[in-house]
């Protein structure tokens, strides 16, 4: 049976790569590899996963330098000469080994006013939103984000400016800007218009390149820039 | 932990590098450009002798590089403006290829003109 040489990050912010030899199996995913190491070779290895089928977004790691969902990444797709290197997501504090602290990532969703704000009660009738309407089409383009952090980890602007809200939070803000039921856009646009908001994006498009759901946060960020400009010209900001 | 070149190896990031580097190089060229134009202040002869000096093949080659840099920076800039101010299009990578093609065509046209 052929084997796979796997380098796995051990430690916190400072640490080292530890090498393991893992049996190579057909249709093996990177998450299978990490699980094999933890269950058969070194039970002290820490990593995070839940659904194993690309729904929860908790198993994202850096595989051969690129952020990915490990559960949906086949070894055959990423192995170079039967070697893979697995590290925690970049741009986030490392708790231990492959586990990052996602708090800064989710705090920024809150800072970008990523919470729906409506003005109706359960006694009101349903809002009628036409699926083909321009706003709903724009919402649809970005709504499938599951908050895995791959875009945030891939973004250089996050590394350059730690306050930058990041692609996922801005994408969330953009879906709410286009939600006709939402009433919080004034504060939302103000929240995303600052130095650490949409205008800080350098259009590297790494988020769009790496998003496992094929979303384009860059498109949402460009939309936010236009929305902020329009609001500023109208004197609303 | 921070990203390295592996996370950055995709066309849109290369376009960012090309745009940034061409901008920096052009900003270095700009003072030289103004100095050359400033020669006209000393009279026609001064500028004319400088321009004749730049007719050397090596300088023409350098001039072609400046034309390509300008074309790259402009095409990249137009691409960014389209990306930010117009409706999003899913063929952003094709837009990159068009920007690269326009830059190359501008350089070739300049070369054809001087050879």
Which pLDDT does position B46 carry in this prediction? Answer: 84
Q: Does the beta carbon of B2 lie under 8 angstroms from any beta carbon of chain A?
A: yes
CB atoms within 10 A of CB A153: 30
Which residues 6+ apart lie within 8 Å of A162 measured at CB? none
Among chain B residues, the shortest Cα distance to A94 is held by B1
ipTM: 0.89
- A218 to B5: CB separation less than 8 angstroms, yes or no: no
Mean pLDDT of B51-70: 90
- Taking only the tens place, the pLDDT of each residue in B63-94 is 999 999 999 999 999 999 988 888 777 777 88
Q: Which residues of B touch A62 (CB under 8 A)?
A: 1, 7
Q: What is the mean pLDDT of residues B5-30?
A: 96
CB contact under 8 A, A91 and B83: no
- Per CB-CB distance under 8 Å, the chain B contacts of A219 are 88
Residue B105 has pLDDT above 80, yes or no: yes
pLDDT surpasses 80 at B41: yes
Predicted pLDDT of residue B39: 86
Burial A163-175, CB ≥16 within 10 A → b, else e: ebbbbbbbbbbbb
CATH class of A3-100: alpha beta
Residue ranges of chain A whose pLDDT lies below 50: none
Out of A66, A88, A141, name the one closest to residue B6 (CB): A66
> Could you report the per-residue pLDDT of A27-41, keeping only the tens digit for each?
999 999 999 999 999
Give the per-residue pLDDT at B42: 83
Tokens for B29? 């060229």
pLDDT digits (tens, 9 = 90+) for B22-40: 999 999 999 999 998 888 8
C-alpha count within 13 angstroms, C-beta hemisphere, residue A134 = 4
Q: Which chain A residues are closer than 8 Å to B83 by Cβ?
A: 203, 218, 222
| Tokens found for residue B47 | 């500028």
Question: How far lies A71's CA from each of A17, A57, A212, in Å?
Answer: 21, 9, 11
Q: Which structure tokens are listed for A200?
A: 């800080």
Give the three-class secondary structure for A177. helix
CA distances from A86 to A97, B22, B27 (A): 10, 35, 41
Distance (Å) from the alpha carbon of A159 to chain B's nearest alpha carbon: 7
At the topology level, CATH places domain A103-233 in Fumarate Reductase Iron-sulfur Protein; Chain B, domain 2 (1.10.1060)
Measured distance between the N- and C-terminal CA atoms of chain B, rounded to whole angstroms:
51
- Single pTM value for the model: 0.91
Q: What is the C-alpha to C-alpha distance for residues A167 and A103, in angstroms, rounded to an integer?
A: 15
What residue of B is the nearest CA neighbor of A224? B84
| Position B115 pLDDT exceeds 70 | no
Say which residue the tokens 């080292």 belong to: A16
B32 touches chain A (CB under 8 A): no
Inter-residue contact A168 to A220 (CB < 8 Å)? no
Domains observed in chain B? 11-114 (1.20.1300.10)
Q: What does the alpha-carbon distance between residue A113 and residue A184 come to, in Å, rounded to a whole number?
A: 8
Nearest chain A residue to B77 by CA: give it.
Answer: A203
């Amino acid at each position: 049976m052929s084997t796979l040489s796997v380098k796995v990050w051990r430690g916190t912010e400072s640490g080292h790569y530890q090498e393991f030899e893992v049996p190579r199996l057909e249709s093996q995913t990177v998450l299978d590899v990490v699980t094999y190491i933890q269950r058969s070779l070194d039970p002290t290895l820490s990593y995070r996963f839940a659904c194993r089928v690309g729904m929860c977004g908790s198993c994202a790691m850096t595989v051969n330098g690129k952020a990915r969902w490990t559960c949906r990444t086949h070894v055959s797709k990423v192995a170079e000469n039967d070697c893979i290197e697995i590290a925690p997501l970049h741009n986030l504090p490392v708790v231990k080994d492959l586990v990052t602290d996602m708090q800064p990532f989710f705090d920024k969703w809150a800072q970008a006013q990523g919470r729906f704000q409506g003005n109706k009660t359960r006694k009101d009738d349903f809002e009628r939103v036409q699926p083909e309407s321009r706003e709903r089409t724009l919402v649809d383009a970005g709504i499938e984000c599951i908050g895995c952090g791959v875009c945030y980890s891939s973004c250089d602007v996050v590394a350059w400016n730690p306050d930058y809200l990041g692609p996922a939070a801005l994408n969330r803000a953009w879906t709410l800007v286009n939600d006709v039921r939402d009433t919080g856009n004034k504060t939302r646009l103000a929240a995303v218009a600052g130095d650490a908001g949409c205008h800080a994006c350098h259009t590297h498009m790494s988020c769009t390149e790496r998003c496992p759901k094929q979303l384009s946060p860059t498109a949402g960020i460009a939309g936010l820039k236009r929305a902020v400009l329009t609001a500023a010209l109208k004197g609303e900001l | 932990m921070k990203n390295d070149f592996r996370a950055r190896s995709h066309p849109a990031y290369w376009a960012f590098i090309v745009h940034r580097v061409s901008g920096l190089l052009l900003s270095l060229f700009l003072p030289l450009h103004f100095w050359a134009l400033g020669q006209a202040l000393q009279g026609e002869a001064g500028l004319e002798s400088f321009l004749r000096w730049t007719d050397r093949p090596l300088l023409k080659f350098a001039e072609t590089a400046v034309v390509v840099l300008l074309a790259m920076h402009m095409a990249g800039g137009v691409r960014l403006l389209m990306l930010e101010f117009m409706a999003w299009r899913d063929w952003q990578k094709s837009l990159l290829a068009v920007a690269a093609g326009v830059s190359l065509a501008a350089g070739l046209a300049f070369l054809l003109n001087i050879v």
